Amino acid sequence: MQPPAIAIDLTSPEAVVRQLARQIRQFIVEGHLSPGDELPGVRRLAMDLGIHFNTAAEAYRQLASDGWIEVNHGRAARVRKREHVPAAEETVQRWSERLRALIADTRAEGVPVRRIRRDLKLALEDLER
């Protein structure tokens, strides 16, 4: 299997740290990265993406503090095995609202319903793989 590739858009309004952390988290959730998988060193990743070392380090720190990866000094960062924690009712409610708002925004921008349906289906398939 090809290792997952990260893409950082330097023109995006989203901070590079957030882009990096979000994509790694996404790869873990979608199963492209499994518990125990080694991540590249912070310097290596920064070098590959042409970003500053501290930016990559901050993204790893955020992922570590959220429990997605474990970072030990002198050893490669690894994906952590996460215990399933049931979401609070409030979180579930917020998710539904965000999804509806996103769909409404997307439709307002002219994306056809069948395209939205197809993308949601693909995302679900990725999640269940």
Partner 1 sequence: MNANMLALLPALVITAVILDLLPRRPRRGLYFGITTGESFARSDEGLGIARRYRLMVWAGAVLALLLLPLTHGALPVFAQMAVGAFAWLHARRRAAPHAVQPPMVRTAVLEAEPSTPASVLVPLVLALAMLAASGIVLYLNYHALPERIPTHYGISGQADAFHAKTPVLTAMPVVIGLLIWLLMAMNVFGIIHGTSRGGAPETRLAREAQRAYFARLLAWLELAIGGLFAYIAVSPIVSAQRLAGSGWIMPALTVLLLIGPVWAVLRWKEQAGGAGDDTPDACWVGGLFYWNSGDPALMVERRDGVGYTLNFAHPFAWAQGLLVLALVALPLVIYSAR
Interacting residues with partner 1 (CB under 8 A):
2-11, 24, 27, 33, 38-41, 43-53, 76
Shortest distance, CB of residue 93 to partner 1, whole angstroms?
33
Integer Cα distance of 20 and 54 in angstroms: 12
Nearer to partner 1, 49 or 71 (CB): 49
Integer Cα distance of 99 and 60 in angstroms: 27
**Phi–psi pair at 25, nearest 5 degrees:** -60, -40
Integer Cα distance of 53 and 38 in angstroms: 18
Nearer to partner 1, 8 or 71 (CB): 8
Shortest distance, CB of residue 88 to partner 1, whole angstroms?
31
Nearer to partner 1, 66 or 97 (CB): 66
